[in-house]
Amino acid sequence: MFKHKIYLLILALAVFASCKKEDDLGDVSSIPGLGGDTWAATDIDTYIKDTFTIPFNVTAKYKYDQGELDFDKTLTPPREEKIKPVLSTIKKVWIDNYVAEAGKAFMQKYIPKFFVLVGSANWNTDGTITLGTAEGGRRIVLYVLNDFRVKGMQGYVPSDSVNIKMMFHTIEHEFAHIMHQTILYPQDFKRISVGDYTSNWNNIEDSTANEKGFISAYAQSAPDEDFVEMVSIMLTEGKARYEAFINSIKSAEARSKLRQKETIVVNYFKDVWGINFASLQTRTRNSINALIN
């Protein structure tokens, strides 16, 4: 015991000696986080400040920072020519439409304050791809931005509907998570498909999940994912496409389950947030159509 105390004392003295004030630590400006990761502001930074930071207190990181990402994944930053087109469409399709329906104060309060933009896909060990994540309602990470196809004229008008829909499916999905994590949807939603949820969703075709009353295979993974998939797909597909989807399902029981979920979603938006879901749905799909066409 006495020897142990001596060893601790010697160790403490050694540490103290190694941290003397006059020790030269060298040039720390090259160490990330200590001055080495700064850069001159560009027109992209000015755009982010004027469009997102000043009106909504939101910032977006597009420079590569491994500390913001999974350490076990190989990821790449977005190409700079993608940044403004992506952010511009986010503003038009998502933010502006929620502001129109719920008010600017709503978005200022609930919009995630920090976006991390990633160029490549985030592949999982089971072969699936994570397109986006929302953490604590404060941070959203968006992946696969280098696949976002744009036309480099007249403000970078997007020309690929698949990429547009994929990105906004992700954003609407993650924002719906933030909403229900703030105020939970009715418990009746979880009872509609009780017993049908499975962690094996990635081995199920969308069409098979549809015939069991799920709007997508991923919706079958858990009640929370079921809820936000309903919100996301209903908004991005629009009323006409959603109705065509419902009518294409053969099982009357599956159609009934989807209608029950739809009703809860619509009422949740109205009763909890004062949002007319049908109007938001129309605005969202019209904005996507305008970008595609």
Confidence of residue 94 (pLDDT cuts 50, 70, 90): very high
> With DSSP H G I counted as helix, E B as strand and the rest as coil, what are the percentages for the chain, rounded to 5?
60, 10, 35
Higher pLDDT, 203 or 155: 203
Mean pLDDT throughout 262-266?
98
Cα separation, 147 vs 185, whole angstroms: 34
For tokens 């079921």, what's the residue?
Answer: 226
Question: What pLDDT does 34 receive?
Answer: 43
Question: What pLDDT does 28 receive?
Answer: 42
Question: What pLDDT does 42 receive?
Answer: 85
Question: What pLDDT does 292 receive?
Answer: 76
Backbone angles phi, psi at 142, to 5 degrees: -115, 130
Confidence of residue 79 (pLDDT cuts 50, 70, 90): confident
Q: Between β-strands 129-130 and 157-158, what pairing exists: parallel, antiparallel or unpaired?
A: unpaired
Question: What pLDDT does 128 receive?
Answer: 76
Question: What pLDDT does 75 receive?
Answer: 81
Cα separation, 221 vs 199, whole angstroms: 5
Give me the chain's average pLDDT, please: 82
Output the pTM of the full model. 0.79
Percent of the chain whose predicted confidence (pLDDT) is above 70: 77
Question: What pLDDT does 2 receive?
Answer: 40
Confidence of residue 143 (pLDDT cuts 50, 70, 90): confident
Contact (Cβ atoms closer than 8 angstroms) between residue 173 and residue 196: no
Confidence of residue 3 (pLDDT cuts 50, 70, 90): very low
Q: What domains lie within the chain, and their CATH numbers?
A: 41-177 (3.40.390.70), 183-293 (3.40.390.70)
DSSP string, 162-214: HHHHHHHHHHHHHHHHHHHHHSPPPTHHHHHTTT---TTGGGS-HHHHHTTT-
